Amino acid sequence: MNLRSRSLLFTIALIVALLIIWQKVRIVFIVPLSPLGFAAMILVIALVIFLLLDHLLNRSR
């Protein structure tokens, strides 16, 4: 997989992670979460989705 397709795959994973979190927001609660903690949560979810998609697309190796 070249760099461009991996970058595109990571962007898709990041968007999916944001959508998953946004769909779960039904009622707003005040939670003491710093912007850095929120960004870390988004990146971890995106990384997991990216690794799953990468594994599914590169099974032939």
Q: What does the pLDDT read at residue 36?
A: 92
Per-residue pLDDT at 3 exceeds 80: no
Please state whether the predicted TM-score (pTM) of the whole model is above 0.85.
no
Interior/surface letters 18-52, b for 16+ CB within 10 angstroms, e for the rest = eeeeeeeeeeeeeeeeeeeeeeeeeeebbeebbee
- Mean pLDDT for 2-18 is 82
Per-residue pLDDT at 43 exceeds 70: yes
- Mean pLDDT for 18-42 is 78
Mean pLDDT of the chain: 80
